[in-house]
Amino acid sequence: MGIPDSILLKPGQLTDREFEIMKQHALIGAETLEAAARQYPGVAYLRMARDIAAGHHERFDGSGYPKGLVGADTPLSARIVALADVYDALTSKRVYKPAFAPDIARSMIVGESGKHFDPALVEAFVAEEDRFLAVREQFAEQQMALV
């Protein structure tokens, strides 16, 4: 959200400047959802959506962005979406990389337990990975039906 296509669709590695621009999407999304939440104060899911937008690039060890939050300082909803987002990114083809096989993605996520990801969520992911794969397959079938 709010990031130029020239950066979003760039096939190669981003420059430091482009990456700084790319990181702004978390704040832009959070600010947009905060404005909507102020306009509709009784709609609780807008606050959760804001938390997710703001926190889905935070890392459990505090090395993420935009605020460098550590552990449970990042809302649970954002920690969950962070793991799901990375799994999706790893297992999907992008303009800058091929898709990784699910077992490779799982190994990468497990390797980031306690660093990028909440260890309890990594444990839950591994226990429920079959569901991730089933949802992924369901959406792949739906996309093929649209073609």
Residue % of the chain over a pLDDT of 90: 79
**31-62: pLDDT as tens digits:** 999 999 999 999 999 999 999 999 999 999 99
Residue 98 is predicted with a pLDDT of 93
How much is the average pLDDT of 68-95?
Answer: 95
**107-145: pLDDT as tens digits:** 999 999 999 999 999 999 999 999 988 888 888 877 777
Is the entire prediction scored with pTM above 0.75?
A: yes
The DSSP annotation for 53-100 comes to HHHTT--TTS--SSS---GGGS-HHHHHHHHHHHHHHHHS-BTTBPPP
Residue 135 is predicted with a pLDDT of 86
Residue 147 is predicted with a pLDDT of 67
Residue for token pair 């990028």: 116
d(CA 99, CA 93): 4
Residue for token pair 């979003």: 8
